[in-house]
């Protein structure tokens, strides 16, 4: 009994240890495995690999170890940035436990399971692929050199699986697109030996395949059971037992694929073991409907093919292939549809024996079918498609589209009717047409389309009223084409000179086309703008649109009476010229938008690459216009406001400059209207490049004068667009400029109170707000302004100074003609460099700052005639004018009556409407006050002596006149000596004032020199200004 108890106790302890180890071991090795996973992956790929979490378990696969990477992703870099190569819910590895524990053994991977993975393979037109994420050879060599003698990871797979996955294969070099959704896949085999069988089972819930714009499969269901015999030593994969089923069509294949360095050698044969037409019909897009088992179809179908050779994309080597297919006596009747398609017969043989596609042959000796009471039949054969397409084809019959709609299901179709009639024969080579050997050309017949009505969900109705095409040896003539596309009408005529060029990728189709329309609504046919981010994960991508034919050279003549696009209506539009995909020579492009007109000519380059391949649109255009109202093209942000000057202003939003444009436009415009500004005789060059508009040497007349400007409007950062301009303005009217330019109103509000004209040179840069107006706090500028003539009228600060000094002519009608002003603006604050001015007898030096908060801080050093102050002092308040200055002088111990001029510092603060005036007495200058006083007293004493002499004469009548003169002279001499002494004392007393005045004059001279230096600096910056904002070699900016 004790033994049993001990055994039971030992068993409990063992179970406890095992369970404890199973729980503890994952935590003990979590850090090691997490670090190993990230290190191994990121160390060996050119991509960004990440996963949100790691889960470790010993219980799920005991006695092995489970490592699960959760929410993983592999994102591309460089040209594939923003595109995920792979992403998924989880990636689970089963690992050998002992290899994890051991520090000397590599970690062995026994199985892999992927939950909800999404793979997006993208191949660019130049062949670069996003799956090529392995390191370059040199980098790989460096990595290998740092590794130990054994690999850190050993793949010993026994099984792997994919659950609910998706694969997108987008090969733009071959124009192939595959989208496989709801993928479930399992594979098992002994990967540890050199030769083994891999047993797989695959299900695809929805398979779509497109090539060159043609959809071959649409949401087809597919299953594949296949066994592959794999020879790892020679990278050879042999097909054994296999069966592929796509919808109802079953296929089998045998052969092999072998990887030899950069080559892929293959020898594959495939066929359909079934021979019924219904299985093939299920492959046709839209034919495989829900309840397909109820479709009545009979007839025979055969399919076989061989692919043999080597594929090497680098040297453009492709395997040969042969495909043969036939349908005989096919009939189909869909449930719920009143009509059937009968007598379907065709044979197709395609043979390409080598990589030289000029050896490709296509033979369709017969295709025929009957819908309702109308039969259609034809044949087609193609030889030497690259060098000289040799085409034989016939088409004869009638297709009643209304009957076809009643015989075949069409998704989203609302209405289909009309008649297509064909009766044509073609047997010729392209070279016969190009060399005008028309006697060797057999081309004859007609193709007619009448009263076609087509309407489907999501698109406007289409009505082709009439189309007549005639085939002749010389050309194919489009004699008439009349259509109603939604609300738009269109009529066309033209010719195609070498229609067989369509079959050769090296040939260009030539012709001419004339198109007219009374009304065309472009909005009906343009796709809605995408709202998703350009960097959104690419697995949700959709296939590219149908391939656009880009081998043409057509002479165009188009006219549209009214073209509506977005909010714009173009009237009397004309477009004439020669059009190839990437070179459009425009002889006339004219029209009218609202009250704006345009007439352009020139060259437009890379139009097709810009529209369909992300190319750069270039060219040179000359444009003329009588009137261009730019307000029509500015986006309304839906709000309006009032400018600081009190005028109503419309609110606009930022106009982004599109990327991938590099175009030059030379413009001559009679009149331009922009916001509330009107300019005339505009000429200059406009360059659109790098999401910016550059103006070069643009000249115009307006605002009472003339102007020239260069600069840029940059929207690379569309949330914070910036501008950079240089202006040369000549004799502009103050009032017009102020009422028109919002920036002028904000930074120079004095302009509202000035009548007259000015000239200016200025450089300015800053940011624009959402209303397309400058952000004043961001503005930086330097410049020079000269008043040609001008009067300041009703300016509150001037009136306040006049009141303070009690000088009437400072209050109104201040003449500022011929003033020269250097200024800077930094972060929205205007700094006025000190300059000389004179208002009648008052000399001034004016300088200071004004900012966007309407606060000013101006200093005016005024040299005022003392007599001007004195004559206004009688009856004046004690707090103004001469009386105020006398009080200030007495506090300083000065006598302002001793100078000819009074020097006053006037400080203006506050805002324009409520200015605050401060006065500070600086002293007096001019002639010595002591000398003047002495002279005045000498004169007074002399007059007194003369008066005394006159009294003596009166008292001593009869005495001699010369005696009188002698007495008078003596009195005057005495007075002179007495006053000279007094004058000397007064002069010594006034010496301090004179010294102060001299020092002030010296300081003003120095300040004048300093101000001149600042002006020279501004002038130098104006000379070196660069509209592109890049520093020149000489250091200018």
Q: Concatenate the DSSP letters of all residues of 680-705 into one string.
A: EEEEEEEEEETTEEEEEEEEEEETTE
What CA–CA distance (Å, rounded) separates 773 from 836? 34
Distance of CA 667 to the CA centre of its chain: 24
**Residue 23, pLDDT score:** 42
What CA–CA distance (Å, rounded) separates 899 from 882? 13
Position 1021 confidence tier, pLDDT thresholds 50, 70, 90: low
pLDDT at 1037 over 60: no
What CA–CA distance (Å, rounded) separates 67 from 72? 13
pLDDT at 533 over 50: no
606: exposed, middle or buried (Cβ count in 10 Å: 0-12, 13-18, 19+): buried
Residue bearing tokens 């005989």: 328
Position 361 confidence tier, pLDDT thresholds 50, 70, 90: very high
What CA–CA distance (Å, rounded) separates 611 from 551? 15
Max Cα distance, the chain (Å): 180
What CA–CA distance (Å, rounded) separates 478 from 115? 57
Position 110 confidence tier, pLDDT thresholds 50, 70, 90: confident
Please choose, from the candidates 492, 487, 494, the residue with its C-alpha nearest in 3D space to the C-alpha of residue 509: 494
Find the angle CA(518)-CA(520)-CA(526) to the nearest 5 degrees: 170
Lowest mean pLDDT among 135-149, 340-354, 408-422: 135-149
pLDDT at 540 over 60: no
Q: How many CA atoms does the CB half-sphere of 742 hold within 13 Å?
A: 21
131, 121 in Cβ contact below 8 A?
yes
**Residue 182, pLDDT score:** 96
**Residue 116, pLDDT score:** 94
**Residue 454, pLDDT score:** 94
**Residue 286, pLDDT score:** 83
Residues 6+ apart with CB under 8 A from 695: 684, 685, 686, 709, 710, 711, 712, 725, 1027
Exposure class string for 700-726: b at 16+ Cβ within 10 A, else e: bebbbbbbebbbbbbbeeeeebbbbbb
**Residue 560, pLDDT score:** 95
Residues 6+ apart with CB under 8 A from 358: 384, 385, 386, 387
Residue boundaries of the structural domains of the chain: 1-146+157-173, 247-383, 389-513, 518-526+545-619, 627-631+640-793, 861-925, 929-1024
pLDDT at 176 over 70: yes
pLDDT at 600 over 90: yes
Position 674 confidence tier, pLDDT thresholds 50, 70, 90: confident
For every residue of 484-536, DSSP letters joined together read EETTEEEEEEEEES-GGGGG-TT--EEEEEEEEES-EEGGGGSPPPP-S-TTS
pLDDT at 960 over 50: no
Stated pTM of the model: 0.65
For every residue of 646-686, DSSP letters joined together read S-EEEEE---PPPSSEEEEEEEEEEEEEETTEEEEEEEEEE
Position 1019 confidence tier, pLDDT thresholds 50, 70, 90: low
Paired tokens of 620: 């040179």
Share of the chain above pLDDT 70, in %: 77
**Residue 635, pLDDT score:** 55
- State whether residue 828 is helix, strand or coil: coil
Output the CA–CA distances (angstroms, integers) from residue 708 to 697, 714, 760, 764, in the order listed: 6, 20, 11, 14
What are 327-356's pLDDT values in tens digits?
A: 999 999 999 899 999 999 999 999 999 989
- State whether residue 930 is helix, strand or coil: helix
Position 1022 confidence tier, pLDDT thresholds 50, 70, 90: low
The more confident residue out of 733 and 930 is 733
3-state secondary structure 853-899: CCCEEEEEEEEEEHHHHHHCCCCCCCCCHHHHHHHHHHHHCCCHHHC
The more confident residue out of 444 and 992 is 444
- State whether residue 359 is helix, strand or coil: helix
Cα dihedral sign for 733, 734, 737, 740?
A: negative
What CA–CA distance (Å, rounded) separates 661 from 618? 6
Main-chain phi, psi angles of 945, to 5 degrees: -65, -40
Position 930 confidence tier, pLDDT thresholds 50, 70, 90: very low
pLDDT at 35 over 70: no
Output the CA–CA distances (angstroms, integers) from residue 451 to 400, 417, 484, 623, in the order listed: 11, 7, 10, 42
Paired tokens of 317: 């080597």
3-state secondary structure 416-471: EEEEEEEEEEEEEEHHHHHCCCHHHCEEEEEEEEEEEEEEECCCCCEEEEEEEEEE
The more confident residue out of 970 and 829 is 829
The overall average pLDDT reported for the chain is 79
Paired tokens of 278: 């219904």
pLDDT at 548 over 50: yes
**Residue 404, pLDDT score:** 94
Within the chain, how many helices (H) and strands (E) appear?
14, 47
Share of the chain above pLDDT 90, in %: 35
**Residue 374, pLDDT score:** 94
**Residue 652, pLDDT score:** 60
What CA–CA distance (Å, rounded) separates 520 from 84? 41
**Residue 308, pLDDT score:** 94
pLDDT at 242 over 50: yes
pLDDT at 888 over 80: no
Output the CA–CA distances (angstroms, integers) from residue 927 to 369, 894, 937, in the order listed: 121, 16, 16
**Residue 305, pLDDT score:** 94
Cα dihedral sign for 979, 980, 981, 982?
A: positive
What CA–CA distance (Å, rounded) separates 514 from 719? 43
The more confident residue out of 482 and 103 is 482
* Average pLDDT of the residues in 177-193: 91
What CA–CA distance (Å, rounded) separates 260 from 134? 18
Position 1013 confidence tier, pLDDT thresholds 50, 70, 90: low
Lowest mean pLDDT among 113-117, 717-721, 786-790, 982-986: 982-986
54, 68 in Cβ contact below 8 A?
yes
52: exposed, middle or buried (Cβ count in 10 Å: 0-12, 13-18, 19+): exposed
What are 719-735's pLDDT values in tens digits?
A: 889 989 898 999 999 88
Please choose, from the candidates 432, 586, 439, the residue with its C-alpha nearest in 3D space to the C-alpha of residue 497: 432
* Average pLDDT of the residues in 748-762: 88
**Residue 880, pLDDT score:** 62
503: exposed, middle or buried (Cβ count in 10 Å: 0-12, 13-18, 19+): middle
Lowest mean pLDDT among 82-91, 629-638, 892-901: 629-638
Paired tokens of 931: 């000398």
Position 929 confidence tier, pLDDT thresholds 50, 70, 90: very low
pLDDT at 488 over 90: yes
Lowest mean pLDDT among 317-321, 515-519, 791-795: 791-795
Q: How many CA atoms does the CB half-sphere of 838 hold within 13 Å?
A: 5
3-state secondary structure 157-169: EEEEEEEEEEEEE
Position 981 confidence tier, pLDDT thresholds 50, 70, 90: low
Position 804 confidence tier, pLDDT thresholds 50, 70, 90: confident
What CA–CA distance (Å, rounded) separates 22 from 67? 14
897, 883 in Cβ contact below 8 A?
no
429, 389 in Cβ contact below 8 A?
yes
pLDDT at 312 over 50: yes
For every residue of 985-1018, DSSP letters joined together read HHHHHHHHHHHHHHHHHHHHHHHHHHHHHHHHHH
1011, 984 in Cβ contact below 8 A?
no
What CA–CA distance (Å, rounded) separates 368 from 399? 12
What CA–CA distance (Å, rounded) separates 448 from 479? 10
**Residue 965, pLDDT score:** 46
**Residue 648, pLDDT score:** 45
Q: What angle, 0 to 180 degrees and rounded to 10, lies between the N-to-C axes of helices 929-955 and 961-1024?
A: 160
Q: Is the peptide bond before 63 cis (omega within 30 degrees of 0)?
A: yes
What are 642-662's pLDDT values in tens digits?
A: 444 444 444 567 778 888 889
What CA–CA distance (Å, rounded) separates 421 from 417? 13
């Amino acid at each position: 009994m004790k033994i049993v108890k001990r055994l039971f106790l030992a068993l409990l302890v063992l179970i406890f240890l095992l369970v404890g180890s199973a729980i503890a071991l994952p935590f003990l090795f979590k850090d090691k495995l997490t670090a190993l996973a990230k290190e191994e992956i990121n160390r060996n790929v050119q991509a960004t690999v990440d996963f949100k979490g790691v889960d470790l378990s010993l219980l799920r696969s005991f006695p092995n170890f489970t490592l699960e990477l959760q929410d993983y992703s592999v994102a591309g870099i460089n040209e594939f940035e923003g595109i995920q190569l792979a992403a998924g819910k989880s990636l689970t590895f089963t690992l050998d436990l002992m290899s994890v524990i051991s520090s000397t053994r590599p970690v062995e991977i026994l199985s892999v399971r992927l939950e909800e993975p999404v793979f997006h393979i993208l191949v660019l037109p130049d062949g670069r692929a996003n799956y090529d994420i392995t390191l370059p050879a040199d980098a790989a060599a460096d990595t290998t050199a740092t590794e130990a003698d054994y690999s850190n990871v050993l793949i010993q797979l026994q099984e792997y699986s994919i659950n609910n996955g998706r694969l997108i294969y987008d090969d733009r070099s071959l124009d192939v697109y595959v989208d496989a959704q709801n993928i479930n896949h399992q594979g098992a085999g002994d990967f540890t030996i050199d030769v083994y069988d891999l047993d797989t089972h695959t299900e695809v819930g929805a398979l779509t395949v497109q090539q060159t714009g043609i959809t071959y499969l649409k949401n087809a269901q597919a299953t594949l059971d296949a066994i592959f015999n794999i020879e790892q030593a020679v990278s050879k994969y042999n097909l054994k037992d296999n069966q592929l089923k796509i919808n109802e069509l079953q296929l089998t294949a045998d052969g092999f694929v072998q990887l030899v360095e950069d080559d892929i050698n293959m020898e594959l044969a495939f066929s359909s073991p079934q021979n019924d037409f219904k299985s093939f019909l299920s492959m046709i897009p839209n034919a495989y409907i829900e309840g397909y088992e109820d479709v009545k179809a009979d007839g025979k179908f055969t399919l076989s093919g061989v692919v043999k050779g080597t594929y090497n994309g680098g040297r453009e080597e492709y395997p040969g292939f042969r495909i043969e297919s036939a349908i005989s006596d096919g009939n189909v009747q869909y449930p719920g549809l009143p009509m059937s398609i009968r007598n379907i017969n065709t044979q197709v043989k395609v043979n390409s024996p080598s990589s030289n596609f000029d050896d490709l042959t296509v033979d369709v000796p017969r295709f025929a079918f009957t819908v309702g009471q109308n039969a259609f039949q034809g044949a087609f054969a193609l030889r030497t498609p690259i060098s000289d397409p040799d085409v034989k084809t016939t088409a004869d019959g009638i297709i009643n589209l209304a009957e076809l709609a009643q015989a075949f299901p069409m998704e989203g179709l609302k209405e289909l009717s009309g008649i297509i009639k064909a009766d044509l024969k073609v047997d010729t080579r392209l070279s016969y047409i190009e060399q005008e050997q028309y006697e060797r050309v057999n081309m004859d017949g007609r193709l007619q389309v009448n009263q076609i009505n087509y309407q489907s969900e999501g698109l406007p109705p289409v009505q082709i009223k009439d189309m007549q095409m005639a085939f002749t040896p010389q050309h194919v003539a489009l004699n008439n084409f009349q259509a109603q596309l939604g609300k738009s009408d269109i009529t066309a005529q033209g010719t195609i000179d070498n229609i067989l060029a369509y079959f050769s990728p090296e040939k260009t189709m030539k012709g001419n086309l004339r198109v007219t329309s009374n009304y065309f609504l472009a909005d009906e046919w343009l796709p809605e703008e995408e709202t998703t981010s350009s960097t959104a994960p690419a697995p949700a991508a959709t296939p590219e649109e149908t391939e656009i034919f880009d081998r043409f050279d057509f002479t165009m003549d188009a006219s549209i009476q009214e073209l509506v696009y977005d909010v714009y209506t173009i009237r009397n539009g004309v477009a004439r010229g020669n059009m190839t995909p990437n070179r459009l020579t425009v002889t006339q492009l004219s029209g009218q938008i609202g009250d704006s007109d345009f007439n352009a000519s020139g060259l437009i380059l890379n139009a097709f690459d810009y529209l369909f391949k992300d190319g750069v649109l270039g060219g040179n255009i000359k444009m003329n216009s009588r009137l261009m109202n730019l307000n029509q093209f500015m986006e309304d942000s839906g709000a309006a406001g009032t400018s600081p000057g009190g005028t109503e202003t419309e609110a606009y939003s930022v106009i982004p400059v599109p990327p991938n444009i590099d175009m030059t436009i030379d413009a001559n415009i009679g009149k331009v209207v922009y916001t509330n500004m009107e300019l005339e005789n505009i000429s200059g060059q406009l360059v659109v490049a790098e999401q910016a508009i550059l103006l070069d040497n643009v000249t115009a007349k307006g605002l009472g004068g003339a102007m020239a400007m260069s600069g840029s409007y940059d929207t690379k950062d569309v949330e914070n667009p910036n501008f950079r301009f240089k202006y040369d303005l000549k004799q502009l009217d103050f009032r017009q400029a102020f009422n028109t330019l919002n920036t002028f109103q904000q930074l120079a509000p004095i302009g509202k109170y000035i009548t007259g004209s000015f000239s200016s040179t200025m450089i300015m840069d800053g940011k624009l707000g959402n209303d397309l107006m400058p952000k004043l706090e961001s503005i930086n500028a330097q410049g020079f302004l000269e008043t040609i003539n001008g009067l300041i009228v009703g300016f509150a600060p001037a009136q306040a100074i006049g009141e303070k000094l009690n000088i009437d002519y400072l209050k109104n009608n201040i003449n500022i003609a011929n003033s020269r002003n250097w200024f800077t603006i930094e972060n929205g604050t205007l700094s006025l460099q000190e300059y000389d001015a004179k208002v009648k007898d008052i000399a001034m030096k004016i300088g200071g700052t004004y900012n966007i908060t309407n606060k000013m801080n101006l200093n005016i050093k005024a040299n005022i005639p003392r007599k001007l102050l004195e004559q206004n002092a009688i009856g004046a308040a004690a707090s103004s004018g001469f009386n105020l200055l006398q009080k200030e002088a007495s506090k300083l111990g000065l006598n302002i009556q001793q100078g000819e001029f009074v020097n006053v510092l006037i400080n203006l603060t506050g805002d324009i409407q409520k200015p605050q005036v401060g006065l500070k007495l600086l002293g007096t200058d001019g002639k010595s006050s002591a000398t003047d006083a002495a002279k005045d007293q000498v004169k007074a004493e002399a007059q007194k002596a003369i008066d005394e002499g006159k009294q003596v004469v009166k008292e001593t009548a009869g005495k001699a006149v010369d005696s009188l003169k002698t007495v008078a002279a003596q009195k005057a001499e005495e007075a002179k000596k007495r006053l000279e002494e007094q004058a000397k004392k007064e002069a010594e007393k006034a010496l301090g004032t004179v010294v102060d005045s001299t020092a002030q004059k010296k300081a003003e001279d120095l300040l004048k020199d300093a101000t001149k230096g600042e002006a020279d600096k501004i002038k130098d910056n104006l000379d070196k200004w660069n509209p592109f904002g890049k520093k020149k070699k000489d250091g200018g900016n």
